[in-house]
Each structure stands twice: as C-alpha cells, then as structure tokens.
C-alpha cells in the first residue's frame, strides 16, 4: 500500500489513475520547503505530451462515514466559516479545508507554474445533504471563496456525486482485470469479478 495513504485516498487515486489516465498519483504529498506544513492527500498528474501540457489534480479526501468532517475549534473566529451553524466542528472543518486548499494552490502554482489545475474535495458522506444543511452550505461557500481568492474552481465530490464516481470505478474494475499496481482498484476488481 502506498506510504500511509488511507483507503479513501487510495480510491480517489485509483479514480484518477484509471479514469482520468493520470501517469503519476502521489499520496500525502508534502512541501520540501522548510517551515511549509502543506500536505495534500492526493496529487495526480496527467501529461498531455501532444500539447506539451500538464493537468494537476489536487484532492483533499475525508472518509468519515458518520458525516462529520473534522472536529476541533477554529483558530480564526472572524472567518467567513463562522456564518455556518453554531457548531464549532463545522466552523473548524470549513476553516481547515480553506487553509488546506489555499496552501495547496500556492504549492502547485509554485511547483507546476505552467500546468492547469483541478482542485477537488472528496467525501462519501457529508451531513446535511438531504436538507441542504449548514455544512453543505458552508462547502458551497468554500467553492465561491476559493474561486474569488485564486481564480481556480473547487469541485465538491460528496455524497451522491462521490458514489457516482466510485460506481464508475467499479464498472471499470468489472470489465478490466489487468493489474495496474493500484491496491484500491485491485480490491474492487476482486469484488466485482467474484462468481
């Protein structure tokens, strides 16, 4: 299993490797710059040699099946995230994701200055999807704030959208028995090809 990647991260990496045809998938990537605590769960690189371009997928992955994201108290109690519920864990989750994506943007912009980027947040279960609750609203605000700050889009791949992407990966696993060196994909291949 690659490094200390979680199973959720391995599924996202498999999706990018097998369905987005990324040549390189790296887990828990950290900046080599001293003092920079930036860490990205999944960094996937797709090369377009025909056009001499790279596309970098930067993914944060939270696989908490209970629907919550992070627990804690926000450091900055004046941030936009404070408008979403009176629950400190919601505030902390939104603040944490904000900082992770801003740091990740700075990192890829410096490391891959000529690439195109896709920033994605993957979570199979996020509380409030049925009633469009505070955490879902806060994540949508995160999308807007991130685009305003960076000029880049942030894609939320949560709940049903997450399920759809993993279903696509399962379909591929059913039809393809080649070994790609991806533990999560291999696991799906075994499950999908049982008789």
In the chain, where the domains are located: 7-192
Per-state percent for the chain, helix, strand, coil, to nearest 5 = 45, 20, 35
Instruction: Report pLDDT for 1.
Output: 47
Q: Which residue has the tokens 């991130």?
A: 146
Confirm or reject CATH 3.30.70 for domain 7-192, answering yes or no: no
pLDDT for residue 37 is more than 80:
no
pLDDT for residue 46 is more than 80:
yes
Q: What is the arithmetic mean of pLDDT over 19-32?
A: 89
How far is Cα 151 from Cα 118, in angstroms, rounded to an integer? 12
Instruction: Report pLDDT for 58.
Output: 97
């Amino acid at each position: 299993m690659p490094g200390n990647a979680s199973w959720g991260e391995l599924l996202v990496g498999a999706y990018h490797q097998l369905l987005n045809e990324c040549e390189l998938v790296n887990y828990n990537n950290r900046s080599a710059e001293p003092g920079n605590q930036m860490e990205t769960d999944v960094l996937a690189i797709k090369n377009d040699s025909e056009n001499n371009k790279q596309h970098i997928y930067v993914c944060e992955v939270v696989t908490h099946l209970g629907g919550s994201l992070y627990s804690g108290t926000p450091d900055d109690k004046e941030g936009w995230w404070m408008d979403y519920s009176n629950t400190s864990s919601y505030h902390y989750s939104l603040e944490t994701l904000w900082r992770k994506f801003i740091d990740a943007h700075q990192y890829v912009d410096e490391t891959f200055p000529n690439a195109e980027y896709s920033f994605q947040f993957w979570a199979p279960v996020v509380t409030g999807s049925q009633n469009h609750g505070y955490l879902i609203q806060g994540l949508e605000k995160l999308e807007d704030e991130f685009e305003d700050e960076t000029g880049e889009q942030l894609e939320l791949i949560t709940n049903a959208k997450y399920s759809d992407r993993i279903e696509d990966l399962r379909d591929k696993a059913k039809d393809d028995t080649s070994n790609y060196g991806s533990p999560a994909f291999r696991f799906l291949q075994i499950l999908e090809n049982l008789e």
